[in-house]
Amino acid sequence: MSTATWLARPDGAYRHEALFYADGDDFLGATAGFLKAGIAAGEASLVVVSAEKIRWLRAALGADADAVFFADMAGVGANPARIIPAWHRFVDGQRAAGRRMRGIGEPIWASRTPDELVECQRHEDLLNVAFVDAPGFWLLCPYDLSALPRDVLDEAERSHPYVTQGGSAAASATYRGLDAFAAPFATPLAPPPDDAVELPFDARRLEGMRGAVAVRAEDAGFTKARRDDLALAVYEVVVNSVRHGGGGGILRMWNTPEAVVCEVEDGGHIDHPLAGREAPPTDSTGGRGLWLVNHLCDLVQLRSSLRGTVIRMHMWRR
């Protein structure tokens, strides 16, 4: 196993870096070296990767593994919108203690569904926005050259200011920049299927929407807890549509082999790029809708423009 030598961090600013690795040895050499350099410098480290790679790193680090926080990305990043809140908890806690930080996060792997992949790529974009004011944080995002297609690697170069490969780091020539990431997400969603059920709603029909979702989920064989979660998530979104999206909208529902999908479309506009990915203040009485939806559903897709907003919620069949 080769071991990469990581010098002192280039500067004190937040550094978001893609790591392109060729195989397991390449991954382990680079990431173990990165962590060892942080441990030697007295920095806090959080690693969010697969359970298998956590085992690799624990073995490579030996006793030093006790100085590193680990979390399984399969749990933390099941819905990619939950990953930034996890990093925020780590960064805020360590910054309060006056420590510099290193992180390793691998949200993208070959078996992600196409919808998950797009949302993971949006997550990588938003990491640049979420931590722009987090000096002392160095985040490394591994990408598997042997398993991921070239278009995914090209997108990684566009979402990371720096790319490391073969032990050499360089600025990305195609990095899009903060202005692009802070703009509303415009990647179109696939159109609903022809057999999708459409239910217009307004303030008088809110409870009816909740009941319709519960019936749909029950027909799909969901447990009571799962159908209650989906019904509550949809209810939160339709309430927001009534309050902030022009007084109403359209609920669409359909089934796929993997999930029950519910989509709410209204005339409102959400211009905050991190909507639903930042914990609402504890003393706030509002602003919890999208946050709750992201923690209830397995995947949430948000698209918003001056023409209106679409929020698509997926609940996997388990």
First to last CA, the chain: 39
Nearest to 32 by CA among 89, 124, 102: 102
Predicted model pTM: 0.93
Output the six-digit token pair for 293: 């939806």
Half-sphere exposure at residue 290, Cβ-oriented, CA atoms within 13 angstroms: 25
197-316, superfamily in CATH? Histidine kinase-like ATPase, C-terminal domain (3.30.565.10)
Ordered by start, the domain boundaries in the chain are 15-182, 197-316
Residue 98, sorted as left (phi over 0), alpha (psi -120 to 50) or beta, turns out to be left
Tokens 């919620």 correspond to 313
Do the domains spanning 15-182 and 197-316 agree at the CATH topology level? no
Regions of the chain short of the pLDDT cut 70 = 1-10, 283-287
Q: Are 142 and 31 in contact, with CB atoms under 8 Å apart?
A: yes
**Per-residue pLDDT tens over the stretch 171-208:** 999 999 999 998 878 788 999 999 999 999 999 998 89
Q: Phi first, then psi: what are they for 227, rounded to 5°?
A: -70, -30
Using CA atoms, how far apart are residues 184 and 101, in angstroms rounded to an integer?
Answer: 29
Residues pairing with 171 in the sheet: 162
| pLDDT value for 186 | 76
Using CA atoms, how far apart are residues 230 and 211, in angstroms rounded to an integer?
Answer: 11
Q: Phi first, then psi: what are they for 273, rounded to 5°?
A: -65, -25
Tokens 């278009």 correspond to 151
Using CA atoms, how far apart are residues 278 and 194, in angstroms rounded to an integer?
Answer: 35
Q: Are 200 and 248 in contact, with CB atoms under 8 Å apart?
A: yes
Strand (E) or helix (H) holding 33: helix 24-40
The angle subtended at Cα 249 by Cα 277 and Cα 259, nearest 5°, is 60
| pLDDT value for 199 | 97
**What 3-state class would DSSP assign to 292?**
helix
| pLDDT value for 6 | 52
Q: Are 89 and 269 in contact, with CB atoms under 8 Å apart?
A: no
The angle subtended at Cα 145 by Cα 143 and Cα 149, nearest 5°, is 95
Q: Phi first, then psi: what are they for 291, rounded to 5°?
A: -60, -45
DSSP state, 189? Answer: P
| pLDDT value for 1 | 43
**Per-residue pLDDT tens over the stretch 199-214:** 999 999 988 999 999 9
| pLDDT value for 2 | 44
| pLDDT value for 288 | 84
Output the six-digit token pair for 102: 């290193």
Pick the CATH number of 15-182 from 3.40.50.300, 3.10.20.310, 3.30.210.10, 3.40.50.2300: 3.40.50.300
